[in-house]
A and B are shown apart, each in its own frame.
Chain A
Amino acid sequence: MNYIYIFTGLGVVSLFLGLLEKEKLIKYLTGFVLLISLGIIFTLDEKGSYFNQMLLADDLVNPMLKVLLFLGLCHFILFYNTGEEFKLPTAEYTALFCFILVGAIVVTLEFNLVMLFLGIEIISIGLYIIAAGNIQDEKSREASLKYFLMGSFSTGIFLLGITFIYGVTGSFLLSDIKTVSSGIPEGSSPLLLLGTLLILSGLAFKASAVPFHFWTPDVYQGSPTHVTAFMATLVKASVLFAFIRLFNQAFLVTSQTWQNSLWLIIALTVTLGNVTALYQTSFKRMLAYSSIAHAGYMLMGVLVPEDPSYKSILFYALSYSLASLTLFGIYFLLEKKGKADALESFRGLAKQNPELAVLAAISLSSMIGLPPAAGFFAKLNIFTQAFINGYTLLVAIALITSLIGAFYYLRVIGLMFKMDNSVEKIHVGLPFRLIVWVQVILLIVFGIFPALIQ
């Protein structure tokens, strides 16, 4: 809760500091505040409900807040210099960064449909703007506009769903929805079902699940790399956290009605994401499809109606985000060297930059799900729980598609270690190096000590 105040305040302060042109101060201040908040959340658990139960912090969402703040810190340090690179004023960028972080915290803590809607809008509007961060680039503007148009459309669907739910239950509170809808006999309220499905579709858009994924490849490719990294990791994680909370808290009693639809969405998502990624030649586009596929795997956790699903989604979101941030970071370095957005840009990276190549290779192995990287246990947990709950066919589809997925990740690893080409030596700054190492070491640590994530 306090973090909402802290980061809103920080965003406002950085806007004012921008007027005074204290760009360096803004960066240091933001980094410092992120670090301090991270320190606080690891020592003091966030607990209690706020604004008449509109937000609720409990033991289940606490680790999620930790993950969000940690990813925020990593992202901020990895890309702290990007404002200048893309002619996006530091003050505005930082402020939007903070506001999006606030949105992410709100959707994670949501206990009320209105709050969920508000949080998603806070995130989306911020993203619409920074997606156009590279204003000189036509693609970046195009990405922003497309995202805005399609986002508005999905917002409409989402809002309509909320309306129906309110109409049936008379409340926005998740606990009330649960109580009321458990009194309704199954199948007797088409409005409740309609509302649930519309909300499901609206959230599926944000999580970029098929068939609401169309925006993802274009927007991911067109946006500046650090914005793409932000969407693919922190934002995606927060949407998934909202997903699990909403469906676990409010709609569990009507599970039979929406689970089949979610089943179908997941099956389509993992298949289309992985299969289409095979044919991509653009690295960012490939990662966009990969992020679609990973969203599908994470959604499998929503199907499982128990507390462990929080943990497994959390684990997956964390391991995926760590690997993803590392890859985007390394790609960003290549981009700065003037390399084109193509897989071929990675050819021969290992020759003069063995450190980067090894870090990228470990992250890619984690994405595939190879032990001892964390991705292995992430997939294992999700798949095991789905399997125990009887989703055998879905697990089979997920396994086959993740096998297909291994191909395009391995191709990048192969390209990096091809010695017939050489990428010139890339200078890696100390903060960047520190963060990617921390991320990769965490990937391995979580792969060896999976029990660390409770």
Chain B
Amino acid sequence: MSNYIILVPLLPLLGFLLNVFLGKKHFSKAMVTTIALGSVALAFLVTVITFFEFLNSGEESIKVTYYQFAQIGSFSLPFSLLVDPLSLLMMLVVTGVGFLIHIYAVGYMSHDVDYPRFFSYLNLFMFSMLLLVSSANYFFLFIGWEGVGVSSFLLIGFWFKNTNFTYAGMKAMLMNRTGDLGFFAGIMLIYVVFGSLEFDKVFSRANDFESGTFIITMITILLFIGASAKSAQIPLYTWLPDAMAGPTPVSALMHAATMVTAGIYLIARSNILFALAPVTLNIVAITGLCTALLAAFIALSQNDIKKVLAYSTVSQLGYMCMALGVTAFSSAMFHFMTHAFFKALLFLCAGSIIHAMSNEQDVRNMGGLKKHLPITFLTFLLATLAIAGIPPLSGFFSKDEILVHAFEYNVVFWGFALFGALLTSFYMFRLLFLTFYGEFRGTHEQKHHLHESPNVMTYPLIILAVLSAIGGFVGIPQLLGGSQKFDKFLEPVFSKAELKLSHLETAHLSHATEWTLMGVSIALIIMSILLARRIYFIKKIIPVSEKVKLSFWHNLSYHKFYIDELYRYILIRPMHFIHDFLNLRIEAGIIDRKVNGTGDAVMGFSKYLRLLQNGKTGYYIFGMVIGLVVILALNFIF
């Protein structure tokens, strides 16, 4: 069955091609839906079957080579896919959660005139993402990486008539390109150093390198630059909140559950390289922690429901990044999985609310939605509890694992990470109370229009809610009598890296310490929830409008630390200045002249060469004879 793994990316590609070429003119809406959803459902099915076969086969990883893509001198580039625990996990989540979101989108987008275009883009995304996670070499991983970038650009600017949305798409594109440059340089360096782009060859050759080798550090830093753009880490995170301009299912699928975790996947996949570069690991850990805290802090005072969730995503990605940095690779992947469940659910709930509120996204105009949207409320509550880390929901297990690893690494890390977790539970419950409790604060018209979403939208919510609730049970720690199935499953992928790191291994924490850590974090989280309840439920404080003067910290959070403004001053302004200088002085004055000069010379040359062709046969034959004579002369006389 592993041989059929190619179907997983191929089916969505087929769906994309059919819908993009024929969807608008030749297919009915039902046909478009069938193709788009069918291809993803089949891909999911193939993944599940492969998954169980893989479990039974007992292999560590299976590489399927389909054909030789290019053979240039000694450089060979096969098209091969990889079936191993890590790629299977990614594929299961991408196709599974992706399919649920596709179903939801059928309801959400039902009134859009560009329905076929939307679904063809979604399928294009699925293809690229699945190629990204299943490729067995860096080259095709990069193709998928660029593919998700393009589909993200297309979907953020899906409603392109709104200029702001188009700009948001461009911002995402530009920031990602910055990262891609680093990633691409990293890939080239990998080829130079290891002589191959195949994962198995690169990693087995990397095994012979000493820890801390300069060139490996360079490679990993370049890879991390790519990863930090795609996974929205400091300093390249500001595109993600703006990316919420896209339709809500897109935010859920790409900008929360799957695409943004590509960077996490890249680091986890290259775990051996990172394990050899302690410096990079520290950078990754610190960047992750800072991002987690900064984004959580910003989320505290945002009023747009999708913006809160976006910053929350940035913050959770920071946690994953930090986990990778402290070499807790499988914890990062565990958190990726649970996060995919509850964050997709949160976004879909937000979509359901926005749908019911006639495209209102400001929480200040919501409130009291509990009785109007019962299913949305219950599922949202569950997801909120999960992300806050309340046992026994999925978020508790994955976050707890990360916190424990952070503690093993450095107590200060643990302290900050826990503080971030408190912020998380606070802003999530703030959002919950403002949205669902209290009085309705919208217009009369909106109130009249309030309704629960249709079944096609609520069923995915319910399924995701179930997953968010029980998804953590695959990774119950030994402390609670679990067997850590998840870690064991992923172990073959990370075993070599862990071997390399074994000299760093600190003593395992005693059970008593672990109990204490868990108790402290749960107690503090519950306290922060109670605080949110006190402010937003009992005191019924509603965030004020922009005009009122805010306190210093509040202001900083509300204006997102002025990062966008900062970038405008330190990057964009100087860029404009340099641009003007280069454009007016260097470009127009020097380069243009040279380039145009060359162009003119070629054109002028062309003009005269053209005259060689004057239409006279005798002259042509004369020319041929001259040519022949020259050739003979060169051979016989010289």
Contact = CB atoms under 8 A, between A and B. Distances in A.
Q: Do A and B come from one complex?
A: yes
Interface of A: 145-146, 149-150, 153-154, 157, 190, 193-194, 197-198, 201, 205, 210-212, 214-215, 217-218, 257, 260-261, 264-265, 272, 275-280, 377, 380, 384, 388, 404, 448-451
A149 B445 CA distance: 86
B610 A276 contact: yes
Given A150-B621, A190-B636, A279-B606, A261 B631 contact: yes
B620 A215 contact: yes
Q: Which 3 A-B pairs have the closest CB atoms?
A: A211-B627, A214-B620, A279-B606
A190 B637 CA distance: 11
B55 interface: no
B635 A449 contact: no
Contacts of A448: 69
Interface string B614-638: 0101001101101110111011100
Contact of A214 (B67, B610, B613, B631): B613
Interface string B536-561: 00000000000000000000000000
Given A146-B617, A193-B635, A205-B624, A275 B609 contact: yes
Nearest to A200: B631
Nearest to A190: B636
B507 interface: no
Q: Is the interface of B mostly helix, strand, loop or mixed?
A: helix
B68 interface: yes
Contacts of A194: 632, 636
Contacts of A154: 624
B580 to A, nearest CB: 28
Contact of B607 (A146, A277, A279): A279
Given A153-B621, A211-B623, A278 B69 contact: no
A150 B631 contact: no
Nearest to A380: B72
Contact of B624 (A197, A211, A264, A404): A211
Contacts of B613: 214, 217-218, 276
A377 B70 contact: yes
Interface in B577-623: 602-603, 605-607, 609-610, 612-613, 615, 617, 620-621, 623
Contacts of B635: 193, 197, 257, 260-261
B624 A450 contact: no
Contacts of B623: 211, 214
Contacts of A450: 69-70
5 contacts: A201-B631, A211-B623, A211-B630, A275-B609, A449-B69
A153 B612 CA distance: 19
B481 interface: no
A280 B620 CA distance: 19
A276 B606 contact: yes
B67 A449 contact: yes
Nearest to A450: B70
A278 B603 contact: yes
Given A261-B634, A449-B67, A201 B628 contact: yes
Contacts of A257: 635
Contacts of B69: 448-451
A425 B472 CA distance: 60
B73 interface: yes
Contact of B634 (A146, A157, A260, A377): A260
Contacts of B620: 146, 150, 214-215
Contact of A197 (B71, B603, B605, B631): B631
A153 B623 CA distance: 12
A197 B634 CA distance: 11
B235 to A, nearest CB: 33
Contacts of B70: 377, 380, 450
A212 B607 CA distance: 20
Query: Which of A154, A212, A214, A279 has the most C-beta atoms of chain B within 10 angstroms of its own C-beta?
Result: A214
Contacts of B605: 275
B609 A197 contact: no
A218 B603 CA distance: 21
Contacts of A218: 613, 615
A380 B69 CA distance: 13
Contacts of B612: 214, 276
A103 B186 CA distance: 53
B609 A276 contact: yes
A279 B67 contact: no
A212 B624 contact: yes
A150 B609 contact: no
B72 to A, nearest CB: 5
A261 B630 CA distance: 10
Contacts of B68: 451
A396 to B, nearest CB: 16
A146 to B, nearest CB: 5
A256 B120 CA distance: 57
A279 B603 CA distance: 7
Contacts of A193: 635-636
A388 B610 CA distance: 34
A163 to B, nearest CB: 16
A211 B632 contact: no
A380 B75 CA distance: 13
Nearest to A377: B70
Nearest to B626: A211
Given A278-B603, A377-B70, A449-B67, A149 B621 contact: yes
Given A197-B632, A211-B628, 16 more contacts: A146-B620, A149-B621, A157-B628, A193-B636, A194-B632, A205-B624, A210-B627, A211-B627, A214-B612, A272-B609, A275-B606, A276-B610, A278-B602, A278-B603, A280-B610, A380-B72
Contacts of B632: 194, 197
A198 B625 CA distance: 11
A260 B605 CA distance: 25
Interface string B233-273: 00000000000000000000000000000000000000000
Query: Which of B627, B630, B634, B635 has the most C-beta atoms of chain A within 10 angstroms of its own C-beta?
Result: B627
Nearest to A198: B628
Contacts of A272: 609
A404 B602 contact: yes
B609 to A, nearest CB: 5
A151 to B, nearest CB: 11
Nearest to B605: A275
Contacts of B606: 275-279
A278 B69 CA distance: 34
Contacts of B626: 211
A275 B602 contact: yes
Contacts of A198: 628
Given A193-B635, A201-B631, A278-B606, A451 B67 contact: yes
A386 to B, nearest CB: 12
A367 B624 CA distance: 28
Contacts of A384: 72-73
